[in-house]
Amino acid sequence: MEEKTERILKDRLDEKQYNKLIALKNPTMHNFVARYIEHCNPTSVFVGTDEPEDLEYIRESAVRNGEESRLKMKGNTIHFDGYYDQARDKINTKILLPEGARIEKAINTIDRESGYEEMHSILKDIMNGHELYVRFFCLGTLNSEFSIPCVQLTDSAYVAHNEDLLYRQGYEQFKRTGDSPDFFKFIHSEGELENSVSVNTSKRRIYIDIRENTVYSANTQYGGNTIGLKKLAMRLAIQKASREGWLTEHMFVMGVNGPDQRISYFTGAYPSMCGKTSTSMVVGEKIIGDDIAYLRRKNGSVYGVNVEKGIFGIIQGINSEDDSILWDTLHSEGEIIFSNVLRTDDGGVYWIDKDSNPPAKGINHSGNWYKGKKDKAGTPVDISHKNARFTLSMTLLQNRDAEMENPEGVKIRGMVYGGRDSDTLVPVEESFDWEHGIITKGASLESETTAATLGQEGVRKFNPMSNLDFLSITIGRYIQDNLEFGKGLSDPPKIYSVNYFLKDSQGNWLNEREDKRVWLKWMELRTHNDAAAIKTPTGHIPKYEDLNKLFSDVLGKEYSKEDYIKQFTFRIPENIAKTERILHIYENDVLDAPDIVIQVLRLQKQRLLEAQKKYGDYVSPFDLQKGNRTV
């Protein structure tokens, strides 16, 4: 240990905390911790191990500090972020870009030197009067090739508590890795507080240093800005994966039950509020993870793990009928953090579209709330925030898959891409092959914006693989990494698109929420070639006979030919328009788009134009079946 580092640690840590830290024989980590203790200047320091008493200290600190308060259900607590600190701050989340590096304008960056200087100016003495929590975690399954050790410095017990629920404890993992400098580093401070919430939001900054594998976050509490191991760490992991030949994806991992007790594992990438969590939690199937996956190649196949072990989920709309598993969990004893929902007078919680009578008053992110309340700008204040969240460990879930902690991961049979699309894509479609799927399903993903990010809602946005917000490499390099990943696989996953948001000309939904259960079952059959499909210019769609049987078997309901035609009518003008939009982006806005992307999209447009000439603008799936062979 360097002399300066040892002096700082001995001066600023009591004997117990010092001994816990130096038990990890990692000089790089010691230097990092010492440097930011000196720079951020906390009043006290707590070093957390994997032991239960240290986890209990964090839980109690969150309540003692006023960041959380207990609810009537045992183990449940509630937290409120500031009124203007309720979502990911995309404007002030920036990658520190080294001199000479290039990246698209769509990815928010700042010159590394100036950004580094600004961040450290903000962090100087920011923890004075606060306790610093030094925590150790592991991204990916423990003691495996998927493992990435992490050290988190934060003065928010709420943030540390969230991470205890969301991530595998990593103190012992650091012991196993010894003096390796290959770990991720995170520094967060909530800054000055008033009524237990951050007040200096004008100085809210979230900067990612891809050169030093470090994330900085200041003057914010909202989890998307502060839980460094989540989306912020994705930027670091995407860089690492690109260098090493594996993938970091914004994907759930779930198991879908098939015939004869078969289980097939799928990943799925959906932008926020597009059905991602509800799909991964669908009744009758198994969940491994709802948000982020690491994917590696083994023996000609793809294997994946859940990067996390918990869920930081949007709570709006969760109800007993459509989300029975989560509903039961959220109404049970257990360690659950609710954030930015309404606290009722009896110590319960209420959120938007909860299926019970809403109370007339309570406490929420705006303070004391009552029906009809407006903020200073005259805007009505909802009963809870649209981006209100819950945090829990997946050990509370009855549908948690037994393979979740398998250090080898699970074999991935299918990859699903889904967004919000009211007028173009059919509910489910399979790509022709890996290359076609990555380009026309993943790299062409579009969706409407939602309340999960600051800014205007309802705008259709290009979002390749639902990962644009989290890229730390160029889009072209990212797409090329995905294409290269599939080369040489003897048993590659099949690739699908899904769309739960299709509407008719009057604006009525053409899908019901539970229909996704059928689309999953069809995809499971297709991954084993147990169902036929109809070829279209953009992929393969289900045959009516197969869906009719699945709707009966899975949902116990009749599926009419009329519904099938409405849902799976091929909308050629809209598909042409979409293809042209995506082509324009890759031809004009992406710095280094692979040539194959342009070629595949142009071929798809050509097939669409040929189909339009043959069939007209709108084609019944039955007519497509007559005109094309089934596969």
Q: pLDDT tens, 419-439?
A: 999 899 999 999 999 999 999
Report the predicted TM-score, pTM, of the whole model to 2 decimal places. Answer: 0.94
Q: Distance of CA 482 to CAs 297, 409, 465, Å?
A: 12, 19, 10
Catalogue the long-range contacts made by 479-483 (C-beta closer than 8 Å, 24 or more residues apart). 479/438, 479/439, 479/443, 479/593, 479/594, 479/597, 480/594, 481/241, 481/242, 481/247, 482/247, 482/438, 482/442, 482/443, 483/434, 483/435, 483/438, 483/439, 483/594, 483/596
CATH fold of 3-62+86-244:
Phosphoenolpyruvate Carboxykinase; domain 1 (3.40.449)
CATH fold of 252-291+411-627:
Phosphoenolpyruvate Carboxykinase; domain 3 (3.90.228)
CA 584 and chain centroid, separation? 27
Q: What is the mean pLDDT of residues 100-116?
A: 90
DSSP state of 465: G
Model confidence at 606, in pLDDT bands (50, 70, 90)? very high
For residue 580, the model assigns a pLDDT of 97
Give per-residue pLDDT as tens, 509-560.
999 989 999 999 999 999 999 999 999 999 999 999 999 999 999 999 999 9
Q: What is the mean pLDDT of residues 96-123?
A: 92
DSSP alpha helix (H) spans, 178-288: 223-226, 231-244, 276-280
Q: How far apart are CA 176 and CA 179, in angstroms?
A: 9
Q: Which residues pair with 410 in a beta bridge?
A: 304
Query: Is 312-396 CATH 2.170.8.10?
Result: yes
| Residue that wins the pLDDT comparison between 289 and 322 | 289
Q: Is 479 helix (H, G, I), strand (E, B) or coil?
A: helix
Is the pLDDT assigned to residue 103 strictly greater than 90?
no
- Residue from 91, 228, 109, 90 nearest 472 by CA: 109
Q: How far apart are CA 235 and CA 107, in angstroms?
A: 11
Mean pLDDT of the chain: 95
- Residue from 411, 475, 481, 417 nearest 445 by CA: 417
Catalytic residue numbers? 274
Is the pLDDT assigned to residue 323 strictly greater than 90?
no
For residue 321, the model assigns a pLDDT of 87
Q: Phi and psi (nearest 5°) for 540? A: -115, 130
Model confidence at 106, in pLDDT bands (50, 70, 90)? confident
DSSP state of 456: -
Q: Regarding beta strands 168-169 and 131-139, do their DSSP bridges make them parallel or antiparallel, or are they unpaired?
A: antiparallel
| Number of other CB atoms surrounding residue 183 within 10 Å | 21
| E strands in 307-437 | 310-314, 336-339, 342-343, 349-350, 361-364, 367-370, 389-393, 410-418, 428-430
Q: How far apart are CA 251 and CA 416, in angstroms?
A: 9
Q: Using an 8 Å Cβ cutoff, are 156 and 187 in contact?
A: no
Residue appearing with tokens 């000196």 = 38
Q: At what angle do helices 3-12 and 15-22 cross, to 10 degrees?
A: 140
- Residue from 81, 364, 322, 129 nearest 225 by CA: 81
| Number of other CB atoms surrounding residue 64 within 10 Å | 12
Tell me which amino acid residue 36 is. Answer: Y
Residue appearing with tokens 């988190």 = 152
Q: How far apart are CA 412 and CA 171, in angstroms?
A: 30
Q: How far apart are CA 206 and CA 39, in angstroms?
A: 17
| Number of other CB atoms surrounding residue 553 within 10 Å | 10
For residue 100, the model assigns a pLDDT of 84
Q: Is 512 helix (H, G, I), strand (E, B) or coil?
A: coil
For residue 631, the model assigns a pLDDT of 76
Q: Distance of CA 1 to CAs 81, 186, 286, 400, 536, Å?
A: 39, 21, 46, 43, 64
Show the 3-state SS of 55-105. Answer: HHHHHHHHHHCCCCEECCCCCEEEECCCCCCCCECCCCEEEEECCCCCCCC
Q: What is the dihedral of CA 175, 179, 183, 186, to 10 degrees?
A: 80
Give per-residue pLDDT as tens, 13-54.
999 999 999 999 999 999 999 999 999 999 999 999 999 999
* 539 Rama class: left (phi>0) / alpha (psi -120 to 50) / beta: left
Q: Provide the residue ranges of all domains of the chain, joining segments of one domain with +.
A: 3-62+86-244, 252-291+411-627, 312-396
Model confidence at 271, in pLDDT bands (50, 70, 90)? confident
Q: How far apart are CA 44 and CA 157, in angstroms?
A: 13
Q: Using an 8 Å Cβ cutoff, are 57 and 16 in contact?
A: no
For residue 604, the model assigns a pLDDT of 98
Q: How far apart are CA 164 and CA 208, in angstroms?
A: 22
